[in-house]
């Protein structure tokens, strides 16, 4: 339980300029990939978030020399003395992306023993497709207790994913980077962070072709040299800031982002009547008239991202008309809407579908963040609401958004943290 809560007094239009930090879901793939290198690597533009700190600990425990100063956003990893392929459960359950240690260690040693991953509770989140890829490449995989053990010399092979999986695609790329021969991934994920990992592997001397399409070819290289690599800006943070600007009827320029990654969200905001203009590496979002209701169906990239469904559905609670939101990727991603009913939102949830009847006013209430993006959605809700919203368990939000409070305050938001009272700690 977090020892503090976030307080947001809403109703203030966000105004001014802000910037986007490095991508969470790309950093958590690129950092494990440094284990595949035969020389030191430097990763730049890393966000200062919990997942990056956990990965630093995991790599250090394995024997890597890691220099990381969050203020510099740069991590240097010298993996030459890594002597272990074991990531114990106590470490692995600190984050979701610890499953990338399986692919990275298999790629490096032909052996990995990694505890089950933790992360947000948004659905069952099986890893069968990851394990299927490892097995196809020559690993014997066992799942025992809370640990997955994989062993075998990796060799190139075709892998067909039964469903599109970001994590499975990235894990297979990691395992294949040093494999003998060519690996071809069919029905691969096309997310920007898959492309970013491919670019990093290529910068080390691997040959990855086709990332960004649904067929990725990896020609393994026995020796990978060191590289200095800058991760891409965070697509989901960009989108969350865009939604926050629209939700408060503000006027915000978001710098340091990649507008091409935001097309699905931009199209929906335009459909709602929000003005969105793209510049080279910036997006301006402003509201010139009321928001119309729109329908959303989450899909794999380049469809509407599931990670933006929660902030977007918070925005839709105040649009004029009814919106239908269909979540196709994860089973439990509407918990924020249940919380928002206490703030005056009118919502009906039937399995994977939420029907949102727009209301003209939300009011502040105590709410609890249940996962990272639910937390972001509740921040959006708090910014829109009249009065003060108290968000419990805000630690979830900081796991994925660097300095979010400071960024919103700089745009004019009234957001602050307060320690919990003794009676609040009892729940």
Nearer to ligand EPU, 10 or 167 (CB): 167
- Out of 125, 217, 284, 403, the only residue in the binding site for ligand EPU (CB under 6 A) is 125
- Out of 97, 252, 258, 397, the only residue in the binding site for ligand EPU (CB under 6 A) is 97
Nearer to ligand EPU, 37 or 306 (CB): 306
Q: What are phi and psi of 390, to 5 degrees?
A: -105, 120
Stretch that binds ligand EPU, among 63-71, 166-174, 239-247, 254-262 (CB under 6 A): 166-174
- Out of 22, 107, 167, 375, the only residue in the binding site for ligand EPU (CB under 6 A) is 167
The answer to whether 263 contacts ligand EPU (rule: CB under 6 A) is: no
The answer to whether 130 contacts ligand EPU (rule: CB under 6 A) is: yes
Measured distance CA(192)–CA(310) in Å, rounded: 20
Instruction: Check if 206 is active-site.
Output: no
Stretch that binds ligand EPU, among 125-133, 150-158, 260-268, 385-393 (CB under 6 A): 125-133
- Dihedral (CA of 391, 396, 401, 405) sign: positive
Nearer to ligand EPU, 153 or 163 (CB): 163
Pairing of strands 346-350, 366-368: unpaired
Measured distance CA(227)–CA(41) in Å, rounded: 5
CA 187 to chain centroid, in Å, comes to 21
The two counts, helices (H) then strands (E), for the chain are: 15, 24
Which is the catalytic residue, given 41, 120, 206, 257?
120
| Residue count (the chain) | 427
- Out of 63, 123, 181, 290, the only residue in the binding site for ligand EPU (CB under 6 A) is 123
CB environment 75-84: b (16+ within 10 A), e (fewer): bbbbbeebee
Q: By C-alpha distance, which of 52, 97, 17 is closest to 401?
A: 52
Per CB under 6 A, contacts with ligand EPU among 34-53 are none
Exposed/middle/buried for 230, CB within 10 Å: 0-12, 13-18, 19+? Answer: middle
Nearer to ligand EPU, 331 or 361 (CB): 331
The answer to whether 121 contacts ligand EPU (rule: CB under 6 A) is: no
Active site residues: 120
Applying CB under 6 A, which residues contact ligand EPU?
Answer: 25, 28, 96-97, 120, 123-130, 163, 165-168, 189, 236, 306-307, 329-330, 372-373, 400
């Amino acid at each position: 339980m977090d020892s503090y809560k976030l307080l947001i007094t809403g109703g203030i239009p966000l105004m001014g300029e802000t910037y986007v930090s490095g991508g969470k879901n790309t950093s958590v793939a690129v950092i494990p990939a440094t284990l595949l290198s035969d020389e030191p690597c430097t990763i730049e533009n890393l966000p200062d978030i919990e997942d990056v700190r956990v990965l630093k600990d995991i790599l250090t425990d394995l024997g890597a020399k890691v220099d990381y100063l969050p203020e510099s956003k740069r991590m240097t990893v010298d993996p030459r003395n890594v002597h272990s392929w074991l990531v114990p459960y106590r470490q692995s359950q600190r984050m979701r992306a610890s499953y990338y240690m399986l692919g990275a260690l298999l790629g490096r040693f032909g052996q990995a023993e990694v505890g089950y991953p933790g992360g947000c509770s948004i659905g069952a989140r099986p890893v069968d497709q990851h394990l299927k890829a490892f097995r196809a490449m020559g690993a014997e995989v066992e799942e025992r207790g809370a640990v997955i053990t994989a062993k075998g010399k990796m060799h190139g092979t075709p892998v067909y994913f039964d469903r599109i999986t970001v994590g499975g695609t990235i894990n297979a790329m990691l395992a294949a980077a040093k494999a003998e021969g060519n690996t071809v991934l069919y029905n691969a994920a096309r997310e920007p962070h898959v492309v970013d990992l491919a670019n990093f592997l290529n910068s080390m001397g691997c040959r990855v072709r086709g990332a960004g399409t649904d067929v990725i070819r990896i020609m393994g290289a026995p020796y990978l040299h060191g590289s200095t690599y800058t991760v891409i800006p965070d697509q989901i943070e960009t989108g969350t800031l865009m939604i926050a600007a629209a939700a408060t009827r503000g006027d915000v320029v978001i710098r340091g982002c990649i507008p091409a990654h935001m097309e699905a969200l931009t199209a929906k905001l335009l459909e709602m009547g929000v003005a969105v203009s793209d510049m080279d590496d910036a997006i301006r979002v402003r509201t010139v008239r009321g928001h119309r209701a729109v329908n959303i169906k989450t899909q794999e990239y380049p469809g509407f991202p599931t990670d933006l469904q929660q902030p977007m559905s918070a925005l839709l609670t105040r649009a004029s008309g009814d919106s239908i939101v269909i979540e196709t990727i994860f089973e439990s991603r509407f918990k924020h809407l249940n919380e928002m009913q206490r703030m005056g939102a009118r919502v009906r949830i039937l399995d994977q579908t939420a029907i949102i009847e727009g209301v003209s006013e939300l009011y502040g209430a105590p709410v609890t963040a249940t996962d990272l993006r639910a937390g972001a959605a509740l921040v959006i809700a708090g910014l829109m609401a009249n009065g003060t919203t108290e968000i419990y368990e805000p630690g979830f939000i900081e796991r994925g958004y660097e300095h979010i409070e400071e960024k919103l305050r700089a745009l004019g938001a009234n957001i602050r943290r307060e320690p919990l009272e003794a009676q609040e700690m009892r729940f």
